[in-house]
Amino acid sequence: MRVLMFGWEFPPHIAGGLGTACYGMTRGLARNGVDVTFVMPHASGDEDQRFVDIVNASDVETVFGNVDSDSEDIIEKMSFIHIDSNLVPYLSPEDYETYHDEFVKTGEKRWETRDVWSQRYTFSGKYGANLLEEIARYAIVAAQVAKDHAGEFDVIHAHDWLTYFAGIAAKRVSGKPLVVHMHATEFDRSGENINTQTYAIERAGMHAADRVIAVSNLTRNIIINRYGVPAERVVAVHNAVRFTDKGEAWPERGVEDKVVTFLGRITFQKGPDYFVEAAAKVLKRCPNVRFVMAGSGDMMNHVIRRVARLGIADRFHFTGFLRGADVDKMFQLSDVFVMPSVSEPFGIAPLEAMRSNVPVIISKQSGVAEVLDYAVKVDYWDVDAMADAIYGLVNYPALSKMFAEKGLEEVISLKWNDAAAKIKRVYEDAINECNK
């Protein structure tokens, strides 16, 4: 079976869960005998470049960086296509506009910036004046790609709303079935104050698709209830997690106190406020705990002010945005990991924490809660329960040991091979239905 996939960046150039998920998924698909032609946006910033850049399998190494050595299997099964575009994951129309305005103001021929999530945007005259225009332009190029590769694929798979128009265009040109993958909905990102343009694109993509893959049942329900997609077309396939053995030395601990960590973007969606309130409650009972908030985001200053007001700033630390090795180091230095997300379609961070032998507390409002048994689950708003769980894991070694050990076993059993097998079945269903 052959799939034309509209995906996002690969490690080491990743902005978050999306790139990681694409990477794990394509590996899993390759193992399941699926050939993947992987299309991704890649901003060149160079005026003369062709719109489409076919990357040879032999060049893939540079795309992968040095993440691992056993990638031969995937190279055989995959080919890469770069479309020259400045789209990056997690972009919102407002962000794009802000940066585009800056580009116009500076009047430079080419302008680059990094935003709070440390993604690189490149602007120049050839890219769309706003995000929607750029998405439409991307779709036109995608249609050309589908035409050029006609007969080389059986199904189209598009990740995240920014590529949905590309998926629809490819489907119209080729007549092949379309599968769209919902990694997050607009309701997860913005609560009830949704961006209606984003919502409209998400909805159009899902209604045009033959199958919709949701990363959890939580997301599946949102899709059915709020986007009106027929339930029989929506399938939940939980993400898995893939670990490379880095064999790094464990970092030396600086502090003797127990360390409780929050790691993620400091935004409304991630519920940083609840973590702070729980921290204050725990510190009242046992002072020998330190709380760390790793990451950055639009709510960071608000959270810092709240921490200062609660008078716990000497026990509550901020690291700013962490990358690469520092993320691993942070997990390894932690004794408890908390993910208090208000709304989390899946949530890969707790799995990474469990992999580092760290017991985790996750909100019931996260997709990952559906696949984990050895994690403490609380409602994100239930600060008392969260504080209680933190206190228990910090003070009762038997409890934290149990969660750490069983959690590690559990997380290792979540394999992309199994998730990819499910995705393959979704492809088969879509193809069969299409051929009827």
Check binding of 323 to other proteins (CB under 8 A).
no
Check binding of 373 to other proteins (CB under 8 A).
no
**Which CB sits closer to other proteins, 253 or 401?**
253
Binding segment for other proteins (CB under 8 A), chosen from 135-143, 225-233, 252-260, 266-274, is 252-260
Check binding of 284 to other proteins (CB under 8 A).
no
| Least Å from the CB of residue 292 to other proteins | 6
Q: Residues, the chain, total?
A: 436
**Site mask, other proteins, residues 287-316, x = CB under 8 A?**
---x-x-------xx--xx-xxx-x-xxx-
Check binding of 192 to other proteins (CB under 8 A).
no
**Which CB sits closer to other proteins, 235 or 349?**
349
Position among 126, 189, 281, 317 found at the interface with other proteins (CB under 8 A): 317
Binding segment for other proteins (CB under 8 A), chosen from 159-167, 325-333, 349-357, 385-393, is 325-333
Position among 231, 255, 402, 412 found at the interface with other proteins (CB under 8 A): 255
**Which CB sits closer to other proteins, 205 or 297?**
297
The C-alpha angle 210, 27, 245, rounded to 5 degrees, equals: 145
CA distance 241 to 168: 29
Check binding of 252 to other proteins (CB under 8 A).
yes
CA distance 179 to 177: 7
The token pair at 366 is: 């996260």
Check binding of 332 to other proteins (CB under 8 A).
no
| Least Å from the CB of residue 314 to other proteins | 5
CA distance 352 to 408: 10
Position among 254, 323, 398, 435 found at the interface with other proteins (CB under 8 A): 254
Tell me how far CA of residue 103 lies from CA of 113, 123, 147, 380, 416, in angstroms: 9, 7, 33, 39, 40
For residue 390, give the nearest of 292, 256, 269 by alpha carbon: 292
Residues in contact with other proteins by the rule CB under 8 A: 251-256, 290, 292, 300-301, 304-305, 307-309, 311, 313-315, 317-320, 326, 329, 333
